[in-house]
Amino acid sequence: MSRAVLSAGSNMGDTVAHLSAVVRAVADELIAVSGMYATAPWGGVEQADFHNITLITEGLRDGMGWLRLCRDLECAADRVRDVRWGPRTLDVDVISVDDDGPVLSDDPELTLPHPRAARRAFVLVPWREIEPDARLWTPAGTRSIAELIAALPADEVAQVRQIAPCSDAGTGALPEWVR
């Protein structure tokens, strides 16, 4: 049993359908899902803006179990591995796993917490929306999400704009944008 933070992004094809499929696939394990955000591409490749969401899940999986789920979802969206940090139908990453404390791993197949999460406004801003007090382990120490966001370039944070709301807290309903 563990709790995971997952990040999903899409900038090819029917992005809302790809992100909806992620939310539906984890519906039984879902604690919270952010609204949908339009985000400027991170990583230096010129490409279309992404749509991103961050999810908090809990279930009878360990870290590899969450990674397998992410890979299955990418496969179902016909994800092709092409340019690093380039365009994709669907990218789903395991940001962190908590099992009575943060799970740490330096295995290249599953590095935890995700080594680039602390530098990605497209992960942190949606995460803050659903868990304002969240903290993330980094090699420099454990930091609050608010602190990590404050340390990012202001223009990167400004380029993460909510375009559809999350569901009403506590109703258990999926957000309206989920098809």
Ligand X SMILES: Nc1ncnc2c1ncn2[C@@H]1O[C@H](COP(=O)(O)OP(=O)(O)OP(=O)(O)O)[C@@H](O)[C@H]1O
Ligand Y SMILES: Nc1nc2c(c(=O)[nH]1)N=C(CO)CN2
50 vs 127, beta carbon nearer ligand Y: 50
Residue 41 interacts with, from ligand X, ligand Y, none (CB under 5-8 Å by kind): ligand Y
Which is nearer to ligand Y, 39 or 89 (by Cβ)? 39
Q: Which residue is nearest to ligand Y (CB)?
A: 9
3-state SS, residue 157: helix
Number of residues this chain uses to bind ligand X (CB under 6 A): 14
Q: Is 80 in the site for ligand Y (CB under 6 A)?
A: no
Residue 151 vs 170, nearer CB to ligand Y: 151
- Which string of x and - marks every residue 103-122 that binds ligand Y (by CB under 6 A)? -------------------x
**DSSP characters over 120-145:** -HHHHHHHHHH-TT-EEEETTEEEEH
**SS3 state of residue 79:** coil
Q: Which amino acid is at 57?
A: T
Distances (CA, A) of 154 to 118, 142, 173: 15, 22, 33
Count helices and strands in the chain by DSSP H and E runs? 5, 10
The Cα–Cα gap between 127 and 5 comes to 8
Site string for ligand Y, 15-54 (x = CB under 6 A): ------------------------xxxxx------x-x--
Q: List binders of ligand X among 27-56 (CB under 6 A).
A: none
Question: Dihedral of the CA atoms 63, 150, 36, 30 (nearest 10)?
Answer: 30
Choosing among ligand Y, ligand X, none, which partner's interface includes residue 78 (Cβ < 5 to 8 Å by kind)?
Answer: none
Q: Is 126 in the site for ligand Y (CB under 6 A)?
A: no
Per CB under 6 A, residues contacting ligand Y are 9, 39-43, 50, 52, 85, 91, 122
